[in-house]
Homo-oligomer: A and B are copies of this chain.
Amino acid sequence: MLIIQKFGGTSVATPALIQKCASHAQKEISKGNKVVVVVSAMAGVTDQLDAYVREISLAPSMREYDVVVSSGEQVTCGLMAIALRAMGLPAVSNLGWQVPVRTCATFGHSRIEGVDPTGLEEALSQGHIPVVAGFQGVTEGNELTTFGRGGSDITAVALAVALKADRCDLYKDVPGILTADPRLVPQARLIPVMTGQEMLELASLGAKVLQPRAVEMALNLGARLRILSTFEPGQGTLIDLQEKTMEKAHVRALVCQKSQAHVSLSHGGHVSDFLKALERAHIPTDMISFVKDDVVLSLPQDKSAQAVSLLGQITNAPIALTDGLAKVSLVGNGLRAHPEILRTVFDILDERKIAVHASCVSETRMSLLIDEVYAELVLRLLHTAFDLDKEDPHAPHLQSA
């Protein structure tokens, strides 16, 4: 088996931790697997470099910004190769430009256009262990680029696709994907297997474990991801793209986003202008719906004043703003096709007389905007009602790796 192993910033925060990560690679190799290691910058390094840049300029040349911040992954890449070699494993570092990982020239958040697998394949065939610096690539004109925060996941997925890896293991500081935030729902459990679509919904709803772009790339190009802990033993969460045949409707996980606001106003034909104005100001909106002549939408509370001001420049209609809300989301499959799920949710809310300010439902996601004070209560009730407290009845058993 060929396995891509990617280690995040907290996993490689110190030389001693880098050695620990190296032992994960050693373990797979001792099982007869081939491994390509992808690394992030040591935790805190990218922030430090970013602070240096900001001390000099608040609007830096993004070409030069990328030169500065891509150095973080370069350091870890060399250190990881040294750690593996110290274990007697023939590791060789590869920076993004050396692979090369080709990107467009949109500095600061460039997109991968292609990965040339030739050099890495040759190294693997010679029994070497390529270590690749995440987060970075190179343009046709030999200029360094980076992919934005979380970009090392993208490198790992892109390599998994280019090298046709059997699996892409993303080592993090969490044991995998949980059914809910354990700080809010004590009964939260690890999810052993989930679909790519579910992962994409979770990532889009702010679960910080995985970059939405990395999930999207895995979904589109067919990489088998696993999210697991650097620090604790365990199989983590496998994101199985083949698992598309799960006909049975189910709720896989719950997500709660607090400090949300709800805006409601008469649209007067201006909906597109509203959305354009908010998008231009990088205000993320969600749950857009129409009630008679009014349009309602949700957005983060810390952007609500700015949003009201922007909308007020477009229309004279009164704007109703409700702060102090929470968006509780169910992620799963068949959520719209199976009305019993929706009914279960509203039974729980109605019984406690909890008002729903807005809701939206798709096959893979249902979101409810409720008063923030009820968030934990609703999460726990839903967690129990949808059998998430128990061992997942829908997940096939993982083959022991």
Contacts and interface: CB of A to CB of B under 8 A. Distances in A.
A241 interface: no
Given A52-B15, A75-B49, A82 B95 contact: no
Contacts of A14: 55
A7 interface: no
A338 interface: no
B142 A56 contact: no
B82 A60 contact: yes
Interface stretch (A66-74, A193-201, A255-263, A363-371): A66-74
A81 B93 contact: no
Which of A16, A52, A82, A95 neighbours the largest number of chain B CB atoms within 10 Å of its CB? A82
Contact of A79 (B18, B52, B75, B77): B52
A102 to B, nearest CB: 15
B82 A18 contact: no
Interface string A80-100: 011101100001110101100
A85 B67 contact: no
B82 A56 contact: yes
A65 interface: yes
A67 B56 contact: no
B49 A64 contact: no
6 contacts: A16-B55, A52-B79, A67-B81, A67-B93, A71-B71, A98-B142
